[in-house]
């Protein structure tokens, strides 16, 4: 069974990639663990992925699942890497009621790791802004 940890979540689901909490702590550095497994948010403007402009794929830092194609990345001005569309089947969403508001959380469809949130103020063609924590991802150039 998989559990979406933190962020006001009480959902239990089965993800294809599963590790014990101890194993996640060994696989991830402390900032990755806090974001991916505990739903933390990295400080705006701190990710090197903000300035990544090469062709390639952004993947989950927890399990390596391909999440976003580089041609869907755009500059949102928020300080976090933003995309207008994930790869098919790459992410799932849940309702996040933490911080006294309701938002749509985005997590990796393979391991359940918290990636960020999606908002309806993005560019065409989707109108979506997937505002992702850079520490939750890695970049694989073409």
Q: Which residue has the tokens 């090469």?
A: 54
Cα 73 from Cα 85, distance rounded (Å): 8
Catalytic residue among 60, 108, 111, 131: 131
Strands (E), the chain: 2-3, 12-13, 56-60, 66-69, 73-74, 82-83, 91-96, 103-108, 114-119, 129-132, 137-141
Token pair listed for 85: 């569309």
108 is annotated as an active-site residue = no
Residues annotated catalytic, as ranges = 131
């Amino acid at each position: 069974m998989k559990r979406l940890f933190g962020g006001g979540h009480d959902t239990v689901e089965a993800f294809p990639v599963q590790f014990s909490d101890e194993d996640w702590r060994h696989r991830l550095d402390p900032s990755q663990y806090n974001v991916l497994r505990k739903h933390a948010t990295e400080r705006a403007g701190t990710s090197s992925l903000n300035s990544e402009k090469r062709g390639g794929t952004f993947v989950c830092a927890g399990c390596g699942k391909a999440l976003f194609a580089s041609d869907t990345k755009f500059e949102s001005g928020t300080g976090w890497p933003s995309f207008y569309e994930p790869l098919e089947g790459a992410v799932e969403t849940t309702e996040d009621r933490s911080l006294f508001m309701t938002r749509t959380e985005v997590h990796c469809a393979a391991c359940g790791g918290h990636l960020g949130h999606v908002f309806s103020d993005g560019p065409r063609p989707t109108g979506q802004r997937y505002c992702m924590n850079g520490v939750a991802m890695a970049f694989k150039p073409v």
